[in-house]
Amino acid sequence: MEQLIADLERSYSGVVKVSEPLAAHTTWKIGGPADLFLVPADAEQLAAAIAVLRRHGVPWTVLGRGSNTLASDKGVRGAVIKLGGGFDAVRFEGNLVIAGGSYSFIKLSIMAGKEGLTGLEFAGGIPGNVGGAVYMNAGAHHSDVSRILKSADIVWEDGSKGTYGNEELRFGYRHSILQEKRGIVTEAVFALTPGDRKEIAAMLASYKDRRLRTQPLQLACAGSVFRNPEGDHAARLIEAAGLKGTREGGAVVSELHANFIVNEDHATAEDVLALMERVRRTVNERFGILLVPEVLLMGER
């Protein structure tokens, strides 16, 4: 570890933290320490960090804004990379929106609306960053990233990089090529359509109001826990199975939205995993449907 850190200090000028608690970086407020926590400020620092990690044979994973992620109580071996300030920018070129990988997806929808561009309204309630949204093909309100993404710049695990068009990203329901081959989205280009600013703002406001009324956003949570099975909704199945309010340790199935698990009282990752398994088992027994997790598990069990 000492040699690795020394090599990083010589070749990489970004932030390096040792044994950084991931609970401070996830919306569930759960997670043990990462061996190394790197925050590159720009693409040059990112490339340098990945090159050093490759030379030392150190595995790495990327963390966005910490939503949709359950970090292990035991932490993460190797390095966790979180994109820094140089990736948190947006610019507009006609109908195109070009956003850095760490830019807030919610903020992006608001900024696009102010520019009179429609197509990103669905993102108004998705609490991740642009890179994570591309990774998951994030969506809501009958739309998703695949409908508006033109291209994405990606740095791959082997250090190679390039710009990839929509079809090359192999989008599916909550799926992209980034779940088959590890990489980091450094920038994404979205193709939108001119629209009425007032209508866009009204739509965003209605989505926000609905979200505040139906989701437990005042508590530590990670968004939807399970993917919606074809033709149905995970929340409906979980509620119909009588699981609202079900508890494992400090983790509880939300009374407000059944597909949310909230950290009500110092929950651990094991509490959440036990509750997820209980929900999956009960729904399967009742309805013959095995729910698929949407949240990403990070670290060792």
260 sits in which H/E element: none
| DSSP helix/strand/coil, 243 | coil
Indicate the Cα dihedral angle 70, 76, 79, 83, nearest 10°. 20
The single residue listed with the structure tokens 């009742």 is: 286
Cα–Cα distance for residue pair 274/42, rounded to 1 Å:
39
Question: Looking at 67, 72, 109, 224, which residue is catalytic?
Answer: 224
Question: Looking at 20, 174, 187, 280, which residue is catalytic?
Answer: 174
Is 294 labeled as catalytic in the residue annotation? Answer: yes
Cα–Cα distance for residue pair 52/66, rounded to 1 Å:
25
The single residue listed with the structure tokens 């001119």 is: 194
Tokens of 261: 């698990």
Alpha helices in 115-191 (DSSP H): 130-136
Cα–Cα distance for residue pair 66/229, rounded to 1 Å:
24
- Helix 2-11 to helix 43-55 angle (10° resolution) is 150
Question: Looking at 20, 187, 248, 294, which residue is catalytic?
Answer: 294
Q: How distant is the alpha carbon of residue 250 from its chain centre?
A: 23
Q: Is the dihedral of CA 134, 135, 140, 146 positive or negative?
A: positive
Q: For the chain, how are helix, strand and coil distributed in percent, rounded to 5?
A: 35, 30, 40
Distance, first Cα to last Cα, the chain = 22
Residue 84 Rama label (left phi>0; alpha psi -120 to 50; beta):
beta
The residues annotated with a catalytic role in the active site are 174, 224, 294
